[in-house]
Chain A
Amino acid sequence: MLGARTNIMVCTGTGCLASESEKVLKNLELILKARGYEKEVSIVKTGCFGFCEQGPIVKIEPDNIFYVRVSPKDAKDIIDEHIIKGRPVERLLYKRPDINQNVRRQEEMPFYKKQMRIALRNCGLINPEDINEYIAFGGYEALGKVLTTMSGEQVIDVVKRSGLRGRGGGGFPTGLKWEITRKQQSQPKFIICNADEGDPGAFMDRSILEGDPHSVLEAMAIGGYAIGADKGIIYIRAEYPLAIERLNTAISQARELGLLGNNIFGTDFSFDINIKYGAGAFVCGEETALINSCEGKRGEPNYKPPYPAEEGYWGHPTCVNNVETFANITQIITKGADWFASIGTEKSKGTKVFALAGKINNVGLVEVPMGTSLREIIFDIGGGIQGGKKFKAVQTGGPSGGVITEKDLDTRIDYESLLNIGSMMGSGGMIVMDETDNMVRIAKFYLEFTMDESCGRCTPCRIGTKRLFEILNKITSGKGAMNDIDALKQLSYMIKGSSLCGLGQTAPNPVISTMRHFWDEYLAFIKA
């Protein structure tokens, strides 16, 4: 008997591991064995389910029962009551706060109802450390289809027609980026996966790599084929040890099966992937700085043009895409460009993953179709504000974005609409603030971050962010005057206009946006 009668899925994403899911897993194994059920029931380590607030998550299949906040001592009841006697353990079920009732299934939870999972499709469904499970759900078929039946141009055409745009935040059309790199005459070419996720509070890419690493490897090979590269590099920060471990496992399993390496699927296409570790500098998410870091140089950006597509890694044409962007690719190939383009808004297609953090009830990872409103994300999926407090603002786009207030909550999110209301899509961090948060201090928090993370290459960013921080510090300590606010404003626009890369150009955004929406809070410090 190959398949067991029951699968106990235990989340082993970083969030759940931090709340002892490893011990839950061990206890489940021990008790299962002690009861003599280890052959009928298998325990599966999975990636992140996204409902981190309620972790550790344990899901029983095929019963489709979803347990939350499972502690190691609950393992006994799960085995003795549910697995052996078929009685779901009521106290471990999720209690819906709106109706004050326990619900058993994932689909019944408001947190999951409005979600649509494309990039996260396998997270929580497969064991990320077993390539066979990925294959069992259709994995590597997109690569096989591409290599055996499509030309590079055809692949690019599909990606272009799908409307997929860069999920790292910039929103540049992915197909176009591939096309530009393909058209370069020079050889060799490289494809790089940007896994240098650095926004405070953002963990989309980490969860994808931890929960479904093969989806990224497969997409990189497809991208490599499309642009004419035979080498891929994953640039990942060293502070993501679990993602690195699972990536390494995935790469070696793919090599063993010949899905990476020479003559993949018996064709003359060869492709391999190496991992480069970053030290976690925020600026290394910027593609030219990332490439410098890959080459062993200081992680500093270069002036563009030339763009990496023309002169990138060691001067060769290089295509840099973000983890989440890659995670969409295989589905686009399998289900078609039209399917993908049918989801989302006019200019932003597909879904976007957001990391919900801050003063929100359901902290976690959600994937929603483009065009979902912020109100739906924060109140329906996110479950509203902690402790029944009043919503004040949400910061999207991390330290490069801005705050969005109550009046703009009904905005249907896409790349353009968020820019229109003074913020940006960014990589997907969403930090929610309640009525007790002081917005000047929030701006100061972000400035402290960008000041620390400024690489120092250009003066406006290096010195400008430091001065901004100092002025904010002066204001928040009650020693500021009106001319400090004027200076703050002037300096912000100066840094924006004259910095070399995106880090500096966007660093003052939190100041500008909090000044626009919460001017009275700045004044309050001056008058105090």
Chain B
Amino acid sequence: MGIKSLEELKEIRDRYQGKVGLRQSANGQEDTIEVLIGMATCGISSGARETLNAFVEEFEKQGIANAKVVSVGCIGYCHSEPTVQINMKGKEPVLYGNVKKDKVAEIVEKHIKGGSVVESLLVMNLRI
């Protein structure tokens, strides 16, 4: 199958951008949103891996290109795993707890797209 126009080339570009998108956003773009997921043993056992993948999938599905999902180590909130920290430029980092994969869509919708914190999931608001 040959490419016969610039549009067809751009289709291929768009199709494969998801595959290489991780690399671009890492190269120091200022408006990158960082989603840090605690992936220590307790995190993994509470479902952090599924949460992480849910974020990746949600970003892909919605075409959010300036967010990167990074797995990080334990931060000590073992009682509230999985923990997710969202870093946006110019804002205080926000730490969420008990983020099972079914909570991901809400965080993406309200916090990452809407810019408002999901109060009910804040670690400091959780009942321990």
Query: Taking beta carbons and an 8 Å cutoff, which residues of A are in contact with B?
Result: 1-7, 9, 40, 61-64, 82-87, 107, 125-126, 132-133, 135-141, 144-145, 148, 256-259, 261, 265-266
One of B6, B12, B22, B37 near A62 (C-beta < 8 A)? B22
Q: State A132–B17 Cα separation when bound (angstroms).
A: 9
Q: Of the listed stretches B65-73, B94-102, B114-122, name the one at the interface; the rest are far from the partner chain.
A: B65-73
Q: State A136–B24 Cα separation when bound (angstroms).
A: 10
Contacts of B1 in A (CB 8 A): 256-258
A133: nearest chain-B partner, CB-CB: B20
The answer to whether A3 touches B22 (Cβ under 8 A) is yes
The answer to whether B22 touches A61 (Cβ under 8 A) is yes
The answer to whether A135 touches B9 (Cβ under 8 A) is yes
Assess whether B25 is interfacial by the CB under 8 Å rule.
Answer: yes
> Can you report 12 A-B residue pairs in the complex whose CB atoms are below 8 A from each other?
A3-B22, A5-B52, A84-B71, A135-B12, A136-B13, A136-B17, A137-B20, A140-B9, A145-B6, A256-B2, A265-B9, A266-B4
Contacts of A3 in B (CB 8 A): 18-19, 21-22, 56, 60
Q: State A107–B28 Cα separation when bound (angstroms).
A: 8
Residue in B2, B5, B17, B37 whose Cβ sees the most chain A Cβ within 10 Å: B2
Q: State A85–B81 Cα separation when bound (angstroms).
A: 13
The answer to whether A86 touches B3 (Cβ under 8 A) is no
Contacts of B2 in A (CB 8 A): 256-258, 261
Q: State A61–B32 Cα separation when bound (angstroms).
A: 14
Known contacts A63-B26, A84-B39, A135-B9, then 10 further A-B pairs from the complex at CB < 8 Å, ordered by chain A residue: A61-B23, A62-B22, A86-B39, A87-B40, A133-B20, A137-B20, A137-B24, A148-B5, A257-B12, A266-B5
Contacts of A84 in B (CB 8 A): 39, 44, 71
B69: nearest chain-A partner, CB-CB: A5
Q: State A3–B6 Cα separation when bound (angstroms).
A: 24
The answer to whether A62 touches B69 (Cβ under 8 A) is yes
The answer to whether B69 touches A85 (Cβ under 8 A) is no
Query: Taking beta carbons and an 8 Å cutoff, which residues of B are in contact with A?
Result: 1-6, 9-10, 12-13, 15-28, 37-41, 44, 49, 52-53, 56-57, 60, 68-73
Q: How far is the CB of B28 from chain A (nearest CB, A)?
A: 6
One of A2, A83, A107 near B60 (C-beta < 8 A)? A2
One of B3, B17, B27, B60 near A258 (C-beta < 8 A)? B3
The answer to whether B68 touches A62 (Cβ under 8 A) is yes
Contacts of A137 in B (CB 8 A): 20, 24
With A3-B60, A6-B71, A61-B26 as given contacts, are A265 and B12 in contact (CB-CB < 8 Å)?
no
B61: nearest chain-A partner, CB-CB: A1
A37: nearest chain-B partner, CB-CB: B49
The answer to whether B70 touches A63 (Cβ under 8 A) is yes
Main secondary structure of the interface of B (DSSP, over half): helix
One of A2, A83, A261 near B18 (C-beta < 8 A)? A2
Q: State A496–B53 Cα separation when bound (angstroms).
A: 66
Q: State A126–B22 Cα separation when bound (angstroms).
A: 11
Contacts of B5 in A (CB 8 A): 144, 148, 265-266
The answer to whether B57 touches A144 (Cβ under 8 A) is no
Q: How far is the CB of B81 from chain A (nearest CB, A)?
A: 12
A257: nearest chain-B partner, CB-CB: B3
B10: nearest chain-A partner, CB-CB: A141
Contacts of A258 in B (CB 8 A): 1-4
Q: How far is the CB of A116 from chain B (nearest CB, A)?
A: 13
Q: Please name the 5 residue pairs, one residue from A and one from B, whose CB atoms are nearest each other, closest first.
A: A258-B2, A86-B71, A86-B39, A62-B68, A136-B16
Residue in B20, B41, B44 whose Cβ sees the most chain A Cβ within 10 Å: B20
The answer to whether B53 touches A40 (Cβ under 8 A) is yes
Residue in B19, B23, B24, B37 whose Cβ sees the most chain A Cβ within 10 Å: B23
The answer to whether B16 touches A85 (Cβ under 8 A) is no
The answer to whether A133 touches B4 (Cβ under 8 A) is no
With A85-B41, A141-B9 as given contacts, are A1 and B70 in contact (CB-CB < 8 Å)?
no
The answer to whether A138 touches B57 (Cβ under 8 A) is no
A63: nearest chain-B partner, CB-CB: B70
Q: State A2–B2 Cα separation when bound (angstroms).
A: 22
With A140-B9, A258-B2 as given contacts, are A1 and B23 in contact (CB-CB < 8 Å)?
no
Q: How far is the CB of A91 from chain B (nearest CB, A)?
A: 15
The answer to whether B28 touches A7 (Cβ under 8 A) is no
One of A5, A61, A261 near B56 (C-beta < 8 A)? A5
Q: How far is the CB of B45 from chain A (nearest CB, A)?
A: 12
The answer to whether A6 touches B22 (Cβ under 8 A) is yes
Q: How far is the CB of B58 from chain A (nearest CB, A)?
A: 11
The answer to whether B23 touches A9 (Cβ under 8 A) is yes
Q: How far is the CB of B47 from chain A (nearest CB, A)?
A: 14
The answer to whether B16 touches A135 (Cβ under 8 A) is yes
Contacts of A257 in B (CB 8 A): 1-3, 12
The answer to whether B4 touches A2 (Cβ under 8 A) is no
Contacts of A126 in B (CB 8 A): 20
Q: State A145–B9 Cα separation when bound (angstroms).
A: 11
Q: How far is the CB of B112 from chain A (nearest CB, A)?
A: 15
Q: State A139–B20 Cα separation when bound (angstroms).
A: 13
Residue in B3, B21, B41, B53 whose Cβ sees the most chain A Cβ within 10 Å: B3
Q: State A5–B57 Cα separation when bound (angstroms).
A: 9
One of A64, A85, A87, A133 near B26 (C-beta < 8 A)? A64
Q: State A61–B19 Cα separation when bound (angstroms).
A: 12
Q: State A137–B27 Cα separation when bound (angstroms).
A: 13
A143: nearest chain-B partner, CB-CB: B9
The answer to whether B6 touches A148 (Cβ under 8 A) is yes
Q: How far is the CB of A244 from chain B (nearest CB, A)?
A: 25
Q: State A135–B14 Cα separation when bound (angstroms).
A: 9
Q: State A364–B4 Cα separation when bound (angstroms).
A: 40
Residue in A83, A132, A256 whose Cβ sees the most chain B Cβ within 10 Å: A132
The answer to whether B71 touches A85 (Cβ under 8 A) is yes
Q: State A91–B5 Cα separation when bound (angstroms).
A: 49
The answer to whether B22 touches A133 (Cβ under 8 A) is no
Residue in B25, B70, B72 whose Cβ sees the most chain A Cβ within 10 Å: B70
